[in-house]
Structure 1
Amino acid sequence: MIHPETELRFVNPEIGHGVFATGFIPKGTIVWVQDALDRTLPPEEVGRYPADLRERMLKYCFRDRHGHFVLCWDHNRYVNHSFDSNCILTPYQLEIAVRDIQPGEELTDNYGYLNIIEPFDACDEGHARKTVFPDDLTRHHPEWDNKLEGAYGRLAEVEQPLRGLLGNEAWETLLLIANGEAAARSIRECFYDPA
């Protein structure tokens, strides 16, 4: 489930829709939690769908570390790519805002940590990188871990509207990380290696 202070908006004909903040979302806020309504589909199931349906699945799903396709039931599936994303996926089946997100600002992910299948050129103006690769997690995880480290430290300080979707054990683990009593797992763990 995506943060409640977000909405779907049309961006432009090239990009389509995007997800925008309707209120202030501070750094350290959990902005998405994988919940029971999100569908997790093994590759063999996706492979049985007709071609046009598979194409839609590939557009709106990301792959988890097991290579399963995750289809979010809400508008989280419309979060667009940015090489300087303001949200980052974690190995805890949630995403965190890694900087303050202002009302009206678009929420973004770096598709490099979503286990894409094929490389693609991103329309991310002003950034030196132009192509997203399937193995970006193997190269860029130190940068993303660093951004997450700063956000984890704020978890207990900011309001967490999605807290109820986390089990007590998961929340306690996150609090230990926030308080510096436990090391965070690396986003590198999210990488799916088909080899």
Structure 2
Amino acid sequence: MIHPDTELRFISTEIGFGVVATKLIPKGTITWAFDTLDQIITPHALEQMHALQKVYLEKYCYRDHNGDYVLCGDHSRFVNHSFRSSCISTAYNCELAVRDIHPGEELTDDYGYLNPSEPFDCLPEPGSTRTQVLPDDLLNFHAEWDAQLLEAFKEFNHVEQPLLDLLEPEQRDQVLAVADGKAPMESILTCYYRETVG
């Protein structure tokens, strides 16, 4: 589930729709949490589907560390890509704002940490030399993303967390332990899905 202080808006003809903050979402806030609205679709189940369903799911799903496709049950599936994303996935089935997200600003993800199955070209972006999202981006950029998450976790206990109770109890306990400095943060690299052949 996406943060309640968001809405779906038309961004531009080039980008389409996106998820925009309606109020300030401070750095360190959980911006998305996996919950019972989200569907998990195995690769085998996807293979059995109609071609039109496959196209839809390949566009709107991300892949988890098991290689399963996850279709978000609300408008979080419309979160757009940015190489300088405002949110980053964690090892705890949730995402954190890694900077303040102001009213009217898009919530964005770097699709590189969502286990894309194929490379794709992206619009040029100020502040980044990257032009493609690649299947192995998690291997190459996890340290950078971990550093941003560690900084965001420093703010976790100082901001409202409306999505915290949606986390599974074990994950909620882990997140709180990290925020309290009682446990080290697991790397985003644990989200990586390594495709095997055969």
Q: Same fold (TM over 0.5)?
A: yes
Does the CA-based 8 Å contact 2:83-2:125 persist in structure 1?
no
Tell me if the contact between 1:153 and 1:177 (Cα under 8 Å) persists in the aligned partners. Answer: no
Please tell me the root mean square deviation across aligned C-alpha atoms, in Å: 1.0
Counterpart of 1:137 in structure 2 is 138
Structure 1 segment 34-183 matched on structure 2, within 5 A: 34-126=34-126, 127-183=128-184
1:19 paired to 2:22: no
Distance 1:131 1:169 in 2: 35
How many angstroms apart in 1 are the aligned matches of 2:11 and 2:159?
A: 29
Q: Residue by residue, what CA displacement relative to the aligned partner does 1:111-141 show, whole Å, maximum 9, x if unpaired?
A: 0000001101111422211011011000100
Is the 2:83–2:110 contact (alpha carbons within 8 Å) kept by the matching residues of 1? yes
**Matched residues, number:** 195
- In the alignment, the residues of structure 2 paired with residue 22 and residue 50 of structure 1 have an alpha-carbon distance, to the nearest angstrom, of 37
Deviations 1:2-35 (A, max 9, x none): 0000000011122110000000000000000000
AA matched with 1:93? N
CA distance in 1, matches of 2:16, 2:53: 19
Looking at structure 2, the residues matched to 129 and 56 of structure 1 have their Cα atoms a distance apart, in angstroms, of: 26
Secondary structure of the residue that 2:52 maps to in structure 1?
helix
> C-alpha distance in 2, partners of 1:91/1:169?
12
Query: Are the counterparts in 1 of residues 93 and 167 from structure 2 also a CA contact under 8 Å?
Result: no
Q: Which moved more, 1:101-110 or 1:151-160?
A: 151-160
Given that 1:62 and 1:71 are in contact with CA atoms closer than 8 Å, whether structure 2 keeps it comes out as yes
1:31-63: CA deviation from partner (whole Å, max 9, x where unpaired): 000001100010010111111210110000000
1:35–1:10 CA distance, 2 compared to 1 (3 A): same
Partner SS for 1:177 = helix
Percent identity (aligned): 52
Structure 2: runs of 5 or more not aligned: none
State the partner residue of 2:194: 193
User: Under a length normalisation based on structure 2, what TM-score does the superposition of the two structures give?
Assistant: 0.96
8 Å Cα contact 2:8-2:20 kept in structure 1: yes
One-letter amino acid of the structure 2 residue matched with residue 169 of structure 1 = E
- The C-alpha deviation readout for 1:67-109, integer Å capped at 9, x for no partner, is 0000001000000000000100011000000010001000000
Contact 1:83–1:124 (Cα < 8 Å) also in 2? no
TM-score between the two structures when normalised by the length of structure 1: 0.97
Q: Secondary structure at the match of 2:172?
A: helix
Deviates more, 1:19-28 or 1:8-17: 8-17
CA distance in 2, matches of 1:77, 1:31: 13
Per-residue deviation, 1:153: 1.5
Contact 2:38 2:72 in 1 (8 A): yes
